[in-house]
Structure 1
């Protein structure tokens, strides 16, 4: 018997990285609108900086889309009927978040406070199911790396 995937399941087909159609079909049209908006925001804010790279994390974690230059910027996780972004904040980046704590959303600060701090930083997995959550992620990414000035 073939079971439907559960909400939050990852794309695990190893035959090839997912294309835009596969991502849209997996995460759904509403999530895909936010997925596309975040990708466009990254490209528009950091033109020519990142080349997104599909990474396979095994059967449990599936495919993710990583944005990295010399250091990780963020990773997008296409999940069944949803998607999340993972942002790792090092020491200097955590200081920036702390300095702007009163200007960031209570939801984002709750995720930040609950995230465990590891040797390489604080790992935040942020579900993006609304325009407000998309804004949270773009604000956090701007703190992590200032936007590139338009040429």
Structure 2
């Protein structure tokens, strides 16, 4: 099973297709994108990431560094946040939503940290993902000056 819904590299989905796919979670999708744009000096693109097991995603970068990627799914979306080992320890010490806790548990540790794939289904998930994105930004010094 793929992370995102749109896995055909040769067929970039339209904005309307993405909105339709995200469905009832569209307000969460829009709120997260708005918060990212307001908080960080991002460059964003819609890109086919990592192959067919992941698919098309909205990718937000700051100073050439990945901040967060959002993968549309059927009836929702998944946020990808890459956190360092130290940031993972901080996240584990916080009271995060079940979806965030499961994403941390499932993620394989790599030298650069862990790739978290978090289904954003509730306001709590949204808030937690925003906190994790902030951790990523602080670790990589990606905050607006």
Counterpart residue number, 1:3: none
Q: Which runs of 5+ in 1 are unaligned?
A: 1-5
Counterpart residue number, 2:54: 61
**Which string of whole-angstrom CA distances, capped at 9 and with x for unpartnered residues, describes residues 12-41 of structure 1?**
34455333312111221x111111110001
TM-score under structure 2 normalisation?
Answer: 0.79
Select the structure that is richer in strand.
2
Relative distance call for 1:14 and 1:85 in structure 2 (3 A) is same
What is the deviation of 1:137?
A: 0.3
What is the deviation of 1:62?
A: 2.0
TM-score under structure 1 normalisation?
Answer: 0.76
Matched, 1:35 2:29: yes
3-state SS in 2 of match to 1:145: helix
For residues 127 and 74 of structure 1, the distance between their equivalents in structure 2, rounded to whole angstroms, comes to 13
Matched, 1:17 2:9: no
4+ residue runs over 4 A deviation: 13-16, 146-149
What is the deviation of 1:67?
A: 1.0
Q: Give the alignment's Cα RMSD to 1 decimal.
A: 2.6
Counterpart residue number, 1:97: 91
Are the counterparts in 2 of residues 23 and 32 from structure 1 also a CA contact under 8 Å? no
For residues 77 and 12 of structure 1, the distance between their equivalents in structure 2, rounded to whole angstroms, comes to 10
Work out the number of aligned pairs and report it. Answer: 138
Are the counterparts in 2 of residues 26 and 78 from structure 1 also a CA contact under 8 Å? yes
